[in-house]
């Protein structure tokens, strides 16, 4: 499975909450047509507004949420996925929504320094 975060900071590969939070996220907003075209069509929503979401998760997410996950399109994932970082507000919202602890997350400042 592709690497999703530096394990010394937080192992996103043992989470996956951000990829299972909502079918309304991630949405395409900053991607060019070329960037969207690079994502295999089977992972893009029928209305082409974002990633396909089925069975409570992004279809590009592999593995078991909360145990070991990866991204099947990591190299060409949408910008919103690139921007979500461990401990940031979106990460915390997704983890809390799925009942995952947030106390083990790094402080958001780690990513901005």
pLDDT < 50 positions in the chain: 1-7, 112-113
Residue 56's pLDDT is what? 95
CA separation for the pair 56, 102 (Å, rounded)? 20
- DSSP state, 20? S
Residues 6+ apart with CB under 8 A from 21: 93, 94, 97, 98
Backbone dihedral region of 62: left (phi > 0), alpha (psi from -120 to 50 degrees) or beta? beta
Residue 6's pLDDT is what? 47
Cα-flanking dihedrals φ and ψ of residue 82, to 5°? -65, -35
CA separation for the pair 57, 25 (Å, rounded)? 10
Residue 12's pLDDT is what? 86
Percentage of residues of the chain with pLDDT beyond 70: 86
CA separation for the pair 108, 113 (Å, rounded)? 9
């Amino acid at each position: 499975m592709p690497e999703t975060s530096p394990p010394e900071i937080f192992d996103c590969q043992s989470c996956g909450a951000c990829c299972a939070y909502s079918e309304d996220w991630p949405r395409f907003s900053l991607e060019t047509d070329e960037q969207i075209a690079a994502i295999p069509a089977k992972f893009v929503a029928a209305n082409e507004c974002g990633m396909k979401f089925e069975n409570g998760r992004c279809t590009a997410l592999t593995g078991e949420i909360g145990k070991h996950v990866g991204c099947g399109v990591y190299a060409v994932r949408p910008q919103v996925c690139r921007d979500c970082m461990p401990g940031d507000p979106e990460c915390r919202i997704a983890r809390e929504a799925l009942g995952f602890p947030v106390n083990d997350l790094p402080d958001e400042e780690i990513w901005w320094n």
